[in-house]
Amino acid sequence: MTGVPPVHHITDFAEQLARQAGDLIRRERDNNTLRTDYKQQTELVTHADVLADEMITGAIRERFPEHRILSEETMPDLSQAEQLDTPLWIVDPIDGTVNYAYGHPQVAVSIAYAEKGRVRAGVVHAPFAGETFRATLGGGATLNGQAIRHSGATVLRETLFATGFPYTKDELAPLIRRLDVMIHHCRDLRRIGSAALDICWVACGRLDAYYENVSPWDFAAARLVALEAGATAGHFSAVPQGYPEDLWGRDILVSAPGIYDELRRLLAAA
């Protein structure tokens, strides 16, 4: 099958793949077949990451051979996000690999679909929690089929935020400054370990805000879920000219609309 079907069909296909990948990574962990390694000497990767990535990308290539794929484990070429002429799939087979390796449940499969740099469909499936977030551009966002909305937070002091930290520890100083500012202005911090779930939790009101530096596969699907749930998403630093904002992962901020501007000012100043 070639060409581009209606976007809701794309979302259905993405959800099907995410659920299949979720079943795979559950089996791998339940069967105690977990094998770990490191990429670039710092970032943990498991055998299940690779198996799930190959399963998802293989199915996409079979159904849409003319589409491009940006995936964390098998095709992590970020320049793919700059080529806007052909539809692009953005895949993270296991977002929260360290959680996965340690037996924590905050793990997600993330699949997004973009045309001309604009994400039009996104699915984030949490297999251990049994939760599936999905969104289509202009079609709203759901959790297990039920419509979701952001928290509606307006008072920064009463907000709960999430963030994450890089595997490499060479440039922690600015991150610590931002963390210090956020802790002093918000209610509290949650460190969940999966950017995709952090953002989806903003979308459904479990969190009020999230910020971090991440890669497109970590956030592309979840960002659409948040936007379609009425949250505000953007950046607290400039996006390079010509780069699609939907896929630029540096200094991203997602929050309830009522606190977004204040958070953006605080983080930019920090």
Q: Per-domain residue ranges for the chain?
A: 7-147, 156-269
For residue 132, give the nearest of 4, 225, 255, 268 by alpha carbon: 225
Q: How far apart are CA 131 and CA 197, in angstroms?
A: 10
pLDDT value for 153? 98
| pLDDT beyond 50 at 1 | no
Binding-site residue ranges: 72, 92, 94-95, 218
pLDDT value for 33? 59
pLDDT value for 127? 98
The length of the chain in residues reads 270
Q: How far apart are CA 162 and CA 77, in angstroms?
A: 27
Which CATH class name applies to 7-147? alpha beta
Cβ atoms of 133 and 225 closer than 8 Å? yes
Looking at 76-90, 208-222, 238-252, which range is the least confident one? 76-90
Torsion of CA 248, 249, 251, 253, to 10 degrees: 90
pLDDT value for 135? 98
| Residue whose token pair is 């939760």 | 131
Domain 156-269: CATH architecture, name and number where available: 3-Layer(aba) Sandwich (3.40)
Q: What are φ and ψ of residue 120, in 5° steps?
A: -110, -20
Sequential DSSP letters for 22-60: HHHHHHHHHTT---EEEETTTEEEEHHHHHHHHHHHHHH
Looking at 82-91, 133-142, 205-214, 253-262, which range is the least confident one? 82-91
Mean pLDDT, range 217-235, rounded to an integer: 98
pLDDT value for 76? 66
> pLDDT (tens digit, 9 = 90+) per residue, 82-119?
778 899 999 999 999 999 989 999 999 999 999 999 99
**Sheet containing 232-235: which strands, arranged edge to edge?**
188-190, 160-162, 209-212, 252-255, 232-235
pLDDT value for 47? 85
> pLDDT (tens digit, 9 = 90+) per residue, 29-39?
888 656 556 55
Distance of CA 76 to the CA centre of its chain: 15
Average pLDDT, the chain: 92
Torsion of CA 62, 66, 71, 75, to 10 degrees: 100
Binding-site residue ranges for Mg(2+): 72, 92, 94-95, 218
Banded pLDDT at 41 (limits 50, 70, 90): very low
Q: How far apart are CA 195 and CA 217, in angstroms?
A: 10
pLDDT value for 85? 87
E strand or H helix at 233, and its extent?
strand 232-235
For residue 269, give the nearest of 172, 170, 185, 181 by alpha carbon: 181
